[in-house]
Amino acid sequence: MKSSSKHQKNPRPRNEKQSDTKLTVGQQMTLTIKSLGINGEGIGYFKRKIVFVEKALPGEVVHAEVTEVKEKFAVAKLVRVVEKSPARIEPPCPLYEECGGCSLQHMDYQAQLASKQELVIESLRKYARLENPPVAPTIGMENPWGYRNKAQFQVGRQNGKLVAGLYQTGSHQLVDLETCQVQHEATTAIVRTAKAVLEELGIPPYEERKRTGVIRTVVARVAFATGETQLTLVTATPEIPRVKELILELRTRLPELVSIVQNVNPKKTSVVFGDTTRELWGRPSIAEKLGELSFDLSARAFFQLNPEQTQKLYNEVKKIAGLTGSELLLDLYCGTGTIALWLAPYAREVRGIELIPEAVEDARKNAERNQAANAQFHVGRAEVLMPKWARQGIKPDVVVVDPPRTGLDDALIRSLLEVTPKKIVYVSCNPSTLAKDIAKLMARYELVQVQPVDMFPHTAHVECVILMERRG
Ligand code: SAH
């Protein structure tokens, strides 16, 4: 996320004079910030060169020091704000500077929402050559705090103390997160207690360099609708010393836990989960609801991180899809099938396609649990299965796509242009790839509507739902 190669390049202002001035690391400068980049940094120009300044806001004049110079851009750190934006606020989190988990806490929430809308507009101008794209105001949260249902914190030892948190941006230093304001309080309370119990019982954290110790990661998850909570301990070893005492202490101090699970990951990897999961105490999963739908979340099952906004997102998908009850709808990149199941009551038939077999198994179980008799889920590549079905005469009326950040595969775009469903509903977490894909789909489709939804307040993430309709 923070890699500078991913910096968005904005169009350069035309009225500045050409200059050969080279920027050097350490150089100080005064800049006017024009817009926000995709990682939440301020974007300014110095002698026509684009400069990214972390924590600077649009409209501000800032004093900055160059830290990195590349051919097409430079990165500078904020030294002083000379003229302050009215949107600048004091970040409420005391760990804001160290942590880096949120990159926009220094910006008023309403301004964050407006800047996310602006970012989507800019992407569509740049990559889809749309002068006035139909982008609605971002749908935000009434209370944009405590929204995350899962805390997944690395465990380590610092100055002799057991800590759990996130790595500081661009470093291997853990920031001990005793609290976190974007997390649901239940999740951080579980982490705090787990940390204390592990310390008291002398159960050591895993140390990557030495490859010694036990506990790698603690994962605390809460179901918003039912209040049920789960703790997963990811360990490097299959054995946990003093495990009986550990379970007893956790149960006594956290009576709200319904599930304690161990996952074993002995590998030298930054991937969190290993292949083996076993129950230490209680149930293997927790029960969650999203609107009318119920889900059973096992330790590794994927679930959206912000349930409140997920419902708004899915309702936008429903609204935009405009179903009448007679349609065949495909949910491509369906994960555990939540979008297909959300829409199943309003369509004739829904079919999901997903690459990961375990996710498809979950989707099938979810369909059964929710008695969605008109939903089926298939393992495979969307770009392979959809055209195959089309050749067999199975042609969708509406196609929903929700791809990873890289956007749609070229083969999928080609097959959408051949199969030509009446409507394409695109759910995207990356405005740049979204805009590039829209540009290609415009060969047969018209962009009708773009709705940004704020899934991760105080971070630079932007999620969008868009509607494209077939021409003719
Ligand atoms: N729609 C889901 C989330 C989807 S995330 C929800 O709302 O919960 C994107 C998913 O696309 C991932 O589960 C990933 O495994 C899957 N995926 C990636 N490439 C794919 C491909 N070529 N065909 C089908 N699924 C793919």
pLDDT digits (tens, 9 = 90+) for 360-385: 999 999 999 999 999 999 999 999 99
Active site residues: 429
Mutate which of 149, 304, 333, 385 for ligand 1? The one with the most ligand atoms within 8 Å of its CB, which is: 333
Q: How far apart are CA 416 and CA 422, in angstroms?
A: 10
Mutate which of 354, 361, 377, 399 for ligand 1? The one with the most ligand atoms within 8 Å of its CB, which is: 354
How far does residue 285's CA lie from ligand 1's centre (Å)? 22
Does any ligand 1 atom lie closer than 6 A to the CB of residue 409?
yes
402 is in an annotated binding site: yes
The per-residue pLDDT of the chain, averaged, comes to 93
Token code pair at residue 412: 């999928």
Predicted model pTM: 0.91
Ligand 1 atom nearest to 356, measured from its CA: 15
Q: Buried b vs exposed e over 292-304: b needs ≥16 C-beta within 10 Å?
A: ebebbbbbbbebb
Per-residue pLDDT tens for 221-268? 999 999 999 999 999 999 999 999 999 999 999 999 999 999 999 999
Share of the chain above pLDDT 90, in %: 89
Q: Which residue's alpha carbon is nearest to atom 3 within ligand 1? A: 335
Q: Is the fold of 1-87 the same as that of 150-298?
A: yes
Per-residue pLDDT tens for 154-188? 999 999 999 999 988 778 889 999 999 999 999 99
Whether the per-residue pLDDT at 15 is higher than 80: the answer is: no
Alpha-carbon distances of 50 from 11, 18, 42, 62, 280, rounded to whole Å: 9, 13, 10, 14, 53
Longest Cα separation, the chain: 72
Does any ligand 1 atom lie closer than 6 A to the CB of residue 378?
no
Q: How far apart are CA 356 and CA 362, in angstroms?
A: 10
Q: How far apart are CA 151 and CA 149, in angstroms?
A: 7
How far does residue 268's CA lie from ligand 1's centre (Å)? 26
Q: How far apart are CA 219 and CA 230, in angstroms?
A: 8
Residue 93 and residue 144 in contact, taking contact as beta carbons nearer than 8 Å: no
Query: In the predicted model, what is the mean pLDDT of residues 193-206?
Result: 97
> pLDDT at position 301, please?
87
> pLDDT at position 7, please?
47
> pLDDT at position 208, please?
85
> pLDDT at position 21, please?
62
Q: Domain ranges in the chain? A: 1-87, 120-141+306-470, 150-298
Ligand 1 atom nearest to 336, measured from its CA: 8
> pLDDT at position 168, please?
86
> pLDDT at position 14, please?
44
How far does residue 339's CA lie from ligand 1's centre (Å)? 11
Does any ligand 1 atom lie closer than 6 A to the CB of residue 335?
yes
Whether the per-residue pLDDT at 19 is higher than 60: the answer is: no
Alpha-carbon distances of 425 from 130, 347, 437, rounded to whole Å: 18, 14, 12
The CATH number corresponding to 1-87 among 3.30.1330.30, 2.40.50.140, 3.40.190.10, 2.60.210.10 equals: 2.40.50.140
Whether the per-residue pLDDT at 35 is higher than 80: the answer is: yes
Residue 352 and residue 372 in contact, taking contact as beta carbons nearer than 8 Å: no
Q: Quickly name the fold that domain 120-141+306-470 has.
A: Rossmann fold (3.40.50)
Per-residue pLDDT tens for 80-125? 999 999 999 999 999 998 888 899 999 999 999 999 999 999 999 9
> pLDDT at position 1, please?
37
Q: Quickly name the fold that domain 150-298 has.
A: OB fold (Dihydrolipoamide Acetyltransferase, E2P) (2.40.50)
Per-residue pLDDT tens for 267-302? 999 899 999 999 999 999 999 999 999 999 999 888
